[in-house]
Amino acid sequence: MVEHLPDLVTPKVHFITEYPRSIEKHGLPILNSCLRFEAKHLYFKQIASRAFNFKNPLLTLAKRYQLRSCLLNKTKSLSLSAVTTIRSSKLIEWCKLSHSIQHLLMKDANKINTIYECSSIDYHHINIRQGSIVVHHLAHAEEIPVFCQIYCILKVEDKCMIIAEILDTISFNDKLWSYQIELTGTLIKIDIEHCFSIFPHCLDSYVVEQSHYINILTRLTKK
């Protein structure tokens, strides 16, 4: 472009040419993004211009506005309902369950119990579906996340139970900023409340060059 279109080379074009090297060196651009700060800073610049008060708006942004945001988020979290809402379900017979699932439910259900298979549920306003991936626990001192993929959601009488397949965490890819995982075929019964205490969201897996990856932008740590 410098040779053929010198008049069209803008700073943005120059930034784009630097992205590959920046991603290889520092990871995803979103990890170094300042867009959220600039958006909030613009809000304060507008208020300062209208109020004709330019006394240290950055201190107000860094201290008072952030405290207000924390207060609002705390108030919002206290209003969340702890009720689990079932979106859709169907009655399933005990004999239709696989032997591995029957073995996992041996202490909680039997042939006389009424069992429903649910396609999705809402738990603390988090939508959980078959195929969703959650963080089961953090392993070793390095706090490597161990994931599990929800295989089925069952309701036995008035209690919801989650059957999931444990996933093997192979490695961490710096360029994709993602964990490479593999299916193990091992089913477990998980405590969904414990899983969401580590990372309160459901995740998806992506296939890159016939390998499966899970992308997490935040660092996970034990409480």
Q: Reply yes or no on whether the pLDDT at 127 is more than 80.
A: yes
Pairing type for strands 115-123 and 205-208 reads unpaired
- 126 and 191 part of one domain: yes
- 31 and 140 part of one domain: no
Residue 19: inside a domain: yes
Please report, rounded to a whole number, the percentage of residues in the chain having pLDDT higher than 70: 94
Residue 160: inside a domain: yes
What pLDDT does 81 receive?
46
Please, which pLDDT band fits residue 223 given cuts at 50, 70 and 90? low
- 157 and 52 part of one domain: no
Average pLDDT, the chain: 82
What pLDDT does 74 receive?
63
Residue 31: inside a domain: yes
Residue 94: inside a domain: yes
- 62 and 101 part of one domain: no
Q: E strands, the chain, where? A: 84-92, 115-123, 126-129, 133-139, 144-156, 159-173, 178-190, 205-208, 211-215
Q: Reply yes or no on whether the pLDDT at 25 is more than 70.
A: yes
What pLDDT does 72 receive?
73
- 108 and 39 part of one domain: no
Residue 194: inside a domain: yes
What pLDDT does 147 receive?
95
Please, which pLDDT band fits residue 49 given cuts at 50, 70 and 90? confident
What is the spatial distance between Cα 74 and Cα 22, in angstroms, rounded to a whole number? 36
What pLDDT does 180 receive?
95
The total number of structural domains in the chain stands at 2
- 210 and 148 part of one domain: yes
Residue 161: inside a domain: yes
- 97 and 192 part of one domain: yes
Q: Please, which residues bridge with residue 84 across strands?
A: 123
Q: Which domain covers residue 40, as residue numbers?
A: 11-78
- CA-closest candidate to residue 199, choices 142, 135, 132: 135
- 157 and 171 part of one domain: yes
- 18 and 58 part of one domain: yes
- 163 and 180 part of one domain: yes
**Token representation of residue 148:** 């599990």
Contact predicate 152/161, CB 8 Å: no
- 63 and 152 part of one domain: no
Mean pLDDT of 8-34: 78
Please, which pLDDT band fits residue 122 given cuts at 50, 70 and 90? confident
What pLDDT does 170 receive?
94
Residue 27: inside a domain: yes
Give me the CATH number covering residue 179: 2.30.30
Domain closes at, from 23, 56, 78: 78
- 111 and 17 part of one domain: no
Domain closes at, from 78, 100, 128: 78
Residue partners of 186: CB distance under 8 A and separation at least 6:
165, 166
Mean pLDDT of 118-146: 88
Q: Model-level pTM greater than 0.75?
A: no
What pLDDT does 76 receive?
52
